[in-house]
Amino acid sequence: MTTKDEFKQAPHKLLVIPGPIEVADEVLFANAHPSMSHVSPDFIPVFGDCVRMTREVLYTKTAQPFLISGSGTLGWDQVAANLVEQGENALVLHSGYFGDSFQDCLETYGAKVTQLKAPIGRAVALSELEKELKSGKKYKIVTVTHVDTSTGVLSNAKEITAVVRRISPETLVVVDAVCSVASEEILFDDWDLDVVLSASQKGLGTPPGLSILVASQRAIDVFKSRKSPPSSYYASWKKWLPIMNAYEAGTAAYFATPPVNLIYAYHAALKLIVRGEKTLEERFKLHKEASRQVKEAAKRLGLKQLPETDDEAANGMTALYFPEGLTAGDILPRLGKRDVVVAGGLHAAIKDKYFRIGHMGVSVVDGQRGDVNTIVRALEEALKEARTKSA
Amino acid sequence: MTTKDEFKQAPHKLLVIPGPIEVADEVLFANAHPSMSHVSPDFIPVFGDCVRMTREVLYTKTAQPFLISGSGTLGWDQVAANLVEQGENALVLHSGYFGDSFQDCLETYGAKVTQLKAPIGRAVALSELEKELKSGKKYKIVTVTHVDTSTGVLSNAKEITAVVRRISPETLVVVDAVCSVASEEILFDDWDLDVVLSASQKGLGTPPGLSILVASQRAIDVFKSRKSPPSSYYASWKKWLPIMNAYEAGTAAYFATPPVNLIYAYHAALKLIVRGEKTLEERFKLHKEASRQVKEAAKRLGLKQLPETDDEAANGMTALYFPEGLTAGDILPRLGKRDVVVAGGLHAAIKDKYFRIGHMGVSVVDGQRGDVNTIVRALEEALKEARTKSA
């Protein structure tokens, strides 16, 4: 048999896209756990621990995690099908591609959506939000993309929530944190959030396939007092709430088979994050330092960031315009040749004009890997080569 | 680094519940693949191969597979949200717990459901189906649970489809094959099916977390001519069809991040099934033989099967009533002590009166493991001990 200490993943190109990210050996090993019954006494506490540790990552004592087999996108369905009823108003703060998708999802389930759209590279101004909330329209939810993976723009979830609480205290604040949980600080209880939705494959350093959503008790109360039943079956909290409660209480309940191996992997990843050598606070600091290092190197190399201001730039990823005269074809293959995998553009309006680098999880927390230096060096070399070639 | 040949999973209790089932070392190893971009040139053909090999397992040339992060349950949402519109009629053939759940799902999305309910231990009679189809009500879909995991009852999907085609040719036939794909023969094209929905963790021998659905071109046409948009976002074929087509064509497209590692695992499992030493036909024969072996041993031991007739008993699992005077507490822990994990009852009406044994995948195909003998021996010993104790 192969033991945890023995297992080492194969050498491979450094994966520094904004998710999936590099996954630690012990997390991959856990994903290869022998097959287990989803109701076995060995598995139940592992699932329960995942629920509890998810709370710790978000600094919440009382909010309710939902861990469901699915991609991050399923979190939108959970919000749209459980918290909004037919014809109710939703306000979407748009800072990139994912604002449009979230709107699409909300409308699928009957929400009336208003969008506040920031210019590319900016987050929605608090003053715009304030004006809209004072317009007289009653919003059931406000959604914000904490880090929009398409632009690398970081929205100020704390201040946004404060504005909502001041002007429209009953409106639920929903944070799409797919690309920010565990790479950006999120103080769920202190900020008074209602929903944080995420996925396993970014800051949480687990393979993709787990929709991770945390709901405040206020959100759960709103859900429980719905007039109509939830408008999704698979994403229904009516189905999942008893399951999450059962596993946390140390018993099993069945709605749909949980992704057992992935739960073992998530458990291993959470242990590294909340029980590891470094505190959560230290981890956030390391993400900031890695981000600064990449962004300063980019600046030195003459690359312009997509986010227009430093305080609206994510700490877990960097989006950079290609320099004048160079394209994706000049840069990305040259990074690939140096075994560094980054991502192209995603925002439709500027898709071919920029690229994205992820710096989350083990790549920034485990300094011995030297991943951030590898990124910077590869970027320097690739740019130099591309400029020589095109000169 | 750990190689595929080196990797051996840890010793563990033999998992013979009706899913998740035992997973082969090479499949678990693939689940521990280094993290990869979902749009990388290395991953795209792996996804494409999974689409193609899924067709082979079902003997179809032209049907359209959907491989989506989620549990088997998500397949019901796909059917309900893409193939049925508000107020349309659905006929659910009920042979156990999962008929009720499928009905619940269909109603969530607005279908009007009629249920034909077989007595416990039986499949719905073809004559009942024929009578209902001739009643004059126009059904958009008929659903059948091929093997109901709660009862072990096998429905005759081939004959059911023939009846539907004869009386109501436009009605789509939807087969819930979560507990039958790769353990029961399914001839998609020959039988003229419309939807087969399944999951990764049963006959397909992969960890749970992948919703696997295959739709006929007739079903796709019905979907494309919907009057209203699909009523789910995450389960929308409008979103997923271009993605499946792209990966199969060798390019990538993005809607939601696929479960990359699980796709590698599914690929490894499919290779064993359709490119392994044994043909698909041989595999089905081995499932029948193992089933016969377990069922005969049970009979010899005085255990009554839940399915009332042999031709309505699944080949991938066996559901057995506890003998007079003995309960789950007498049998299941004694099997556990012998490192054999079986499942308790699930059908609400008789939950405490029976138990279930799975015999699918490597446990029956790889004879060297001796799993079926292990099951039979443990059952004999556990029963003997329990009877001595209670005597």
Where exactly are the structural domains of chain B?
4-20+279-390, 33-274
Q: Is A356 annotated as a binding residue?
A: yes
- A33-274: what fold? Aspartate Aminotransferase; domain 2 (3.40.640)
- Give the pLDDT confidence of A254-266 residue by residue, as tens digits: 999 999 999 999 9
Q: Provide the number of CB pairs (under 8 Å) joining chain A to chain B.
A: 220
As a whole number of angstroms, the distance between CA A377 and CA A360 comes to 18
Contact by Cβ (8 Å): A126, A161: no
CA–CA–CA angle B382, B386, B390 (5° rounding): 175
What is the percent of chain A with per-residue pLDDT over 90, rounded to a whole number? 99
Contact by Cβ (8 Å): A118, A92: no
Closest CA to A322 of A290, A354, A359, A348: A354
Q: What is the pLDDT at residue B389?
A: 83
B234 to A234: CB separation less than 8 angstroms, yes or no = yes
- Give the pLDDT confidence of A154-164 residue by residue, as tens digits: 999 999 999 99
Decide if pLDDT at A391 tops 90.
Answer: no
CA distance to A50, B161, B200, B303, per residue, from B61 (Å):
42, 18, 21, 42
As a whole number of angstroms, the distance between CA A125 and CA A118 comes to 7
Radius of gyration of chain B (CA): 21
- Residue A70 banded pLDDT, cuts 50, 70, 90: very high
Task: Confirm or reject contact between A348 and chain B (CB < 8 A).
Answer: no
Q: What is the pLDDT at residue B391?
A: 65
CA–CA–CA angle B29, B31, B32 (5° rounding): 65
Distance (Å) from the C-alpha of residue B88 to the closest C-alpha of chain A? 17
Distance (Å) from the C-alpha of residue B70 to the closest C-alpha of chain A? 4
Task: Confirm or reject contact between B159 and chain A (CB < 8 A).
Answer: no
Helices (H), B94-156: 97-108, 126-133
Q: What is the pLDDT at residue B53?
A: 98
DSSP characters over B8-28:
-PPP--EEBSSSSB---HHHH
CB interface of B with A, residues 197-226, below 8 Å:
199, 201, 207-209
Average pLDDT over residues A27-35: 98
Option in A8, A256, A261 nearest B1 (CB) = A8
Residue numbering of the annotated binding site of B: 356
Looking at the domain that runs over B4-20+279-390, which CATH code has it been given? 3.90.1150.10
CA–CA–CA angle A136, A139, A140 (5° rounding): 150
- Residue A390 banded pLDDT, cuts 50, 70, 90: confident
List the single residue in A with minimal CA-CA distance to B29: A32
Average pLDDT over residues A198-206: 98
Cross-strand pairs, B354: B321
**Can you tell me which residue has the tokens 């715009």?**
A128
Average pLDDT over residues A160-180: 98
Decide if pLDDT at A244 tops 80.
Answer: yes
pTM for this structure?
0.98
* Residues of chain B contacting A235 with CB distance shorter than 8 Å: 234
Query: Tell me, what DSSP letter sits at residue B64?
Result: E
Q: What is the pLDDT at residue B18?
A: 98
Average pLDDT over residues A184-199: 98
**Can you tell me which residue has the tokens 């109509």?**
A228
* Contacts with B107 (C-beta within 8 Å, 6 or more apart), sequence order: B113
* Contacts with A256 (C-beta within 8 Å, 6 or more apart), sequence order: A69, A234, A239, B71, B72, B73, B74
Decide if pLDDT at A389 tops 90.
Answer: no
Helices (H), chain A: 25-31, 44-57, 73-82, 97-108, 126-133, 157-167, 188-191, 217-224, 237-249, 260-274, 280-300, 328-337, 362-365, 371-390
End-to-end CA distance of chain A: 56
Q: What is the pLDDT at residue A339?
A: 98
Other Cβ atoms closer than 10 A to B45 = 14
Decide if pLDDT at A322 tops 70.
Answer: yes
| Residue A325 identity | G
Average pLDDT over residues A144-165: 98
Q: What is the mean pLDDT of each run of 10 residues along chain B (391 residues)?
A: 97 98 98 97 98 98 98 98 98 96 98 98 98 97 98 98 98 98 98 98 98 98 98 98 98 96 98 97 98 98 97 98 96 98 95 97 97 98 92 65
Distance (Å) from the C-alpha of residue B158 to the closest C-alpha of chain A? 27
Decide if pLDDT at A53 tops 80.
Answer: yes
Cis amide leading into A11 (omega within 30): no
Mean of pLDDT over chain A: 97
Task: Confirm or reject contact between A260 and chain B (CB < 8 A).
Answer: yes
Q: What six digits make up the tokens of B20?
A: 């998740």
Contact by Cβ (8 Å): A150, A340: no
As a whole number of angstroms, the distance between CA B12 and CA B32 comes to 18
